[in-house]
Amino acid sequence: MKKRIWALMAVLVLLTYALVECGGGGGNQARPTTTTSRPTTPLVRYAVGMYVPVGQVRNPPSWINLDGGITSYDGIKFTWIKGVGLSKSQKIAKRSARADAQGNLSEAISVIVARQFAQAWEALGVGDDEQIEQVKQGLTATKSRVTVRGFRILRSHREQVASIIDLRPNGQPGRLGKVKWRYYVMMGLPYQRYKRMRDNVVKRVIRRAPNNRQKQLIRKAENQLKKLDGDPKELEVPAAKK
């Protein structure tokens, strides 16, 4: 019995020695290598004529990358549309931004209506099909009579920009033009007023619906929207690609 124990101990000693020699321990042990990757920033494709921020650049608010949506401001629910103005004068840029939002109001309302209906169908578990796509197109294409009464600035953002005259060989901006002000405004319309506009759009789309299937889809969504109207959840409309 003792011989077997001594034999086992001798084997363990030999195995330990072999591991050390092969780099399994001690100073010769291979250290794991770690690699760190630098965070990558999205590449901007600059072009001649593009306006770029200059001077002291502060972090812009995320809403300037949207076209509009639904939000709460001072505890009141609003439907909002973005407007953008550009001028050497800050006052004129702001005035242009307001005019831009007012000019886009009718089209923006139609887009927001279509987005809300998509939310309603999603909540009802209605899958996308050809009929739904046709209704969405009809909602987006139908313009509502709009009123700017109660349409006001909720938020704003301004920045100094200059147009690119030429590009460097590496694609970065070279010479820049004269500095101007670019002004963004979030123009809000009280949600109750927006609902009346939405109702007008829906009535016109129902009248034009070519079949009962589309009319049923719209009426189902209308009932669901009554629940969503009281939901403080915000809606965002991504900026259209130009």
Alpha helices per DSSP H over the chain: 2-21, 90-124, 130-141, 191-208, 212-229
Give CA–CA dist 208/115, Å, rounded.
19
* pTM summary value: 0.73
Closest listed residue to residue 139, CA positions, set 192, 201, 77, 88:
201
- Give 157-184 pLDDT, tens digit per residue: 999 999 999 999 999 999 999 999 999 9
- Give 60-90 pLDDT, tens digit per residue: 999 999 999 999 888 889 999 999 999 999 9
Give CA–CA dist 9/83, Å, rounded.
83
Residue 167 is given by DSSP the state B
- Give 184-200 pLDDT, tens digit per residue: 999 999 998 888 888 88
* Sheet architecture: strand order including 180-190: 51-53, 152-163, 180-190, 76-87, 66-73, 235-238
Domain chopping of the chain, boundaries: 51-230
